[in-house]
Chains A and B, each alone.
Chain A
Amino acid sequence: MEENIIQVENLSKSFDISSKEPGLKGTLKHFFKRQTKSIEVIKNINFEIQKGEIVGFLGANGAGKTTILKILCGLIYPSQGKLSVAGNLPYKRRSNFLKNITLIMGQKQQLIWDLPPIESFYLNAAIYDIEKFEAKKRIKKLSDMLEIEKELYIPVRKLSLGQRMKSELLAALIHKPNILFLDEPTLGLDINAQRNLRKFLQIYNKETDATICLTSHYMKDITSLCKRVICIHEGCLTYDGKLEKLLKKISPVKDILFICKTDKDAEELSNSGFIIKNQNQKEITITIKKDSIKSTLKKILNKFEIEDLYINEPPVDEIIGNILVKEKV
């Protein structure tokens, strides 16, 4: 039986938030009688994550994904519920727990801005009680993997966003954490940098059997890294399972592009009662249910003169985009 490294039971988190009406009246009212209300951003969430798993957290902005990661790494206290990460209560922030985890946030930097990244790496090594010789070895290995050997000695402020993100990753991994919490790690990176980062995370996971919890709005991050996803909608867990199964469940259709021989065929096909997704002269895209593909195709091919056809899955982004706004999956 696989070992559960993260266990979450009935987890809830509320924040007190003050609201202010616009204008002078609102400002004065806010000054004299501030109104705060408690907003429950995480509501009774349960899940378990096994050692070595890569799990993607999906949800719209403000759904609560980042809050879950912050609670799991011990940055913020939960309001209710039980949780255990590597056998520890994260919010106690015990030294042996902190040495086991890392959190990378796309928008937040821990590197010292005016110094070359190598200085921050040695500082982190000292903070995590790593000997200088061992730190040197790890920096060499990780910088080779991330291809940033040349950038180690250039001040952080002069590095590109991609180089900075790679350096952030190195700083966050120097202590060989077993659990990685990644909050939009590819935010703002170009396509090549995103691909390299994903490749690196795959290798790191394979080599160290590290558990990775990831949030991202780039679906490519999720589809290429995560077999399992957890969907969050307004603080509630709406799906927990395999990504593949989710896509099948949510998208029971395929798009088929027909290229008709004549304009007349195209016109007749478009008026024959099928769900037309796109039409461009002789090219018609029809959405067909997966379980009736064979019969529908047979019908169309018998009735119309078709020159060519292409079968496509709807884009993952589109499917997942639909999931994000659904209460139940």
Chain B
Amino acid sequence: MFNLNKNKLTTLLKVQYSNMLEYRVEIALWAISGIIPFFMLNIWTNNNLNESINLSNVMLSRYFLSAFFVRQFSVVWVVFTFEEDALLGKISPYLIQPLNPFFRYFAQHIAEQITRFPFAIIIALIFFLINPESVWIPSLSLFLLACLSTFFSFLIQFLIQSIIACFCFWTEKASSIERLLFIPTLFLSGLLAPVISFPEYVKSWIYLTPFPYLIDFPANILSGNNTNIISGFFMQIFWISVLFPIFKRIWSLGTKKYTAMGS
């Protein structure tokens, strides 16, 4: 089904990176548009909301900066691209190549993250200039674990959106299903508030869903906040192993329904 090897992957990444560099201004704007965690930080600190969760101003600002970073390197838009390509028949040439077309989208995302990297660093430097007390250097082990959990967060989101994208084979406007997930992702992922701030009974449910492992968990690791690393990784791997076979199955069923419209 996938036929991926090192050469295919590196060539895909190289080509997609060259392609993304053509859109560097656009990507810089996207990076800037992801500063929502800084607005949230402002709301939290100005209203002293952090006191209710026993988190200092410094730790909270580190958390939101980390959330910004995690968001920058885990943002996924495959459903929109795939939907357009499927409806216009653009995926037809890719479907008859010995490589699953989703690898093209996967490589596009990774290439886009690499292109975003310098812009994210510049934004972080500006943040440190404004909040010098928040400057910190995480230990190498925490940094590597945060990178890994951010990648897992990206994988979870990529798989969720890919599954939804495959609904294009049936419903044509699959992105509207994705809209349903937007609100829980926004509120439960930790982008607007650390999950720790939710009431206990809500938290017990939230931690069973994939949402807190998208932003909150990697951001807590990177910022040095207390978090259960083992259970966090366990849940990330659990969700990846649940979503991957679902994607494979729905892809296989969906391609049977493909009508190659628009061509």
Residues of chain A at the chain B interface (Cβ within 8 Å): 15, 66, 70, 73-77, 91, 93, 95, 98-99, 101-103, 105, 107-110, 112, 114-115, 119-120, 122-129, 172, 183
Contacts and interface: CB of A to CB of B under 8 A. Distances in A.
Contacts of B94: 110
B3 A108 contact: no
B15 A98 contact: no
Contacts of B260: 70, 75-76
B134 interface: no
A95 B5 CA distance: 13
B97 A108 contact: no
A127 B8 contact: yes
Given A119-B18, A124-B97, A126-B11, 7 more contacts: A15-B259, A70-B92, A74-B95, A75-B260, A103-B96, A123-B11, A129-B5
Contacts of B8: 126-127, 129
A72 to B, nearest CB: 11
Contacts of B263: 66, 105, 107-108, 183
Interface in B94-116: 94-99
B98 A128 contact: yes
A41 to B, nearest CB: 10
30 contacts: A70-B260, A75-B92, A75-B96, A76-B258, A77-B256, A93-B255, A95-B3, A101-B96, A103-B93, A105-B263, A109-B90, A109-B93, A110-B93, A115-B15, A115-B22, A119-B19, A122-B11, A122-B15, A123-B12, A125-B11, A126-B7, A126-B8, A126-B11, A127-B8, A127-B98, A129-B5, A129-B7, A129-B98, A172-B93, A183-B263
Interface of B: 3, 5, 7-8, 11-12, 15, 18-19, 22-23, 89-90, 92-99, 255-256, 258-260, 263
Nearest to B89: A108
Given A70-B260, A126-B7, A114 B95 contact: no
A74 B18 contact: no
Contacts of A114: 19, 22-23
A120 B90 CA distance: 15
A103 B259 CA distance: 15
Nearest to B5: A129
Contacts of A129: 5, 7-8, 98
Contact of B92 (A91, A108, A115, A120): A108
A76 B258 CA distance: 6
Contact of A115 (B12, B19, B255, B259): B19
B12 A99 contact: no
A123 B96 contact: no
A98 B12 contact: no
A128 B3 CA distance: 10
A95 B98 contact: yes
Contacts of A66: 263
A128 B12 CA distance: 12
Contacts of B97: 98, 124, 127-128
Contacts of A91: 256
Nearest to A74: B96
Nearest to B8: A126
Contacts of B93: 103, 105, 108-110, 172
Contacts of A73: 96
Residue among A103, A123, A128 with the highest chain B CB neighbour number at 10 A = A123
A208 B12 CA distance: 29
Contacts of B89: 108
B96 A93 contact: yes
Nearest to A103: B96
Contact of B18 (A115, A125, A172): A115
A91 B19 CA distance: 31
B11 A98 contact: no
A124 B94 CA distance: 10
Contacts of A115: 15, 18-19, 22
B145 to A, nearest CB: 32
A155 to B, nearest CB: 8
A103 B260 CA distance: 13
B92 to A, nearest CB: 6
A103 B92 CA distance: 9
A109 B255 CA distance: 20
